Amino acid sequence: MAKRESVARYPLSAASPLSEACEDAALQLISDILLIHLTVTRPFGEISGLISPALLDSAAHRPFFILGDNFAYQTGLEQAAALFESLIKNHVFDDGNKRTAITACLFFLDRCGYWSNSAFLSDKERIALEALTLKIANENALLQSGTADTALGVSGIANELGKILQASKKRRFRLSRLLSNTFRPVNNLFRLSDDLTPEAAQSHIIIFGVERAAGLELMPSSGFW
């Protein structure tokens, strides 16, 4: 088995105790996931419906789990895989869960410094990510039918992500790629439309069972929105 590449963990504040820094990072991630969900649903006229704030909270905290004195997930790739799996399986939103999971995973890796250059994904890589997402979403059914022998788990998902995205790490900016329909800039996935600022975004998020997301304050990550 090929050695898994080392990817820096999600950046935490060095000014706070570790537990507080992890909590702050998870809360920030919740805001970013909600904004990501809007970017992948609103252009299609879909309503952004949050089914379970508790499951969203659980998914956002999972990458920062600490066991004893050590992180449960040692690399940024494993952390991203944990977030990816949770967002797919937890079914946090009424619709767009898989799209949100893919984009949030790429966003997380970008925050970990996965790409040193401007990141471009090929259509082949995008299709492979979609296939992996469907595999995770249907994993229980595949196991029950005998089509799959074992669950991927975070380690297996991290390996698959590494294989899919490895070539993109070495890909450099070229104008032809920017203009191409074959390669897509990763950072474009994190941009809200001009008419929807982060400040206004919270009014578009509906929590099922709650008339409006009252008291929900979105805090977009600096430099990403």
Which string of DSSP letters, residue by residue, matches 150-176? S--HHHHHHHHHHHHHHHHHTPPP-HH
Q: Environment class of residue 200 by beta-carbon count within 10 Å: exposed (0-12), middle (13-18) or buried (19+)? A: exposed
Residue 196 confidence (pLDDT): 52
8-state DSSP, 193: -
Strands (E), 176-225: 183-185, 205-207
d(CA 125, CA 165): 7
Residues across the chain: 225
Each domain of the chain, given as residue ranges in start order, spans 18-207
CB 201 within 8 A of CB 35: yes
| CA 37/CA 48 separation, integer angstroms | 7
CATH 1.20.120.1870 fits 18-207, yes or no: yes
- Provide the pLDDT for residue 206: 53
What was the pLDDT predicted at 187?
65
d(CA 96, CA 99): 5
The pair of structure tokens assigned to 2 is 């090929």
Tens of pLDDT along the chain (225 residues)? Answer: 445 567 899 999 888 899 999 999 998 898 888 888 888 887 666 666 788 888 999 999 999 999 887 899 999 999 999 999 999 999 999 888 999 999 999 999 989 999 887 777 888 898 999 999 999 999 988 888 888 778 899 999 999 999 999 988 887 766 665 566 666 667 666 555 545 555 555 555 555 444 444 445 555 555 444
Tell me if 73 sits within 8 A of 63, measured CB to CB. Answer: yes
Question: What's the gap between Cα 161 and its chain centre?
Answer: 12
pLDDT value at position 182? 62
3-state secondary structure 90-148: HCCECCCHHHHHHHHHHHHHHHCCCCCCCCEEEHHHHHHHHHHHHHHHCHHHHHHHCCC
The structure's pTM equals: 0.82
At 44 the pLDDT is 62
Evaluate whether 77 touches 70 at the Cβ level (below 8 Å). no
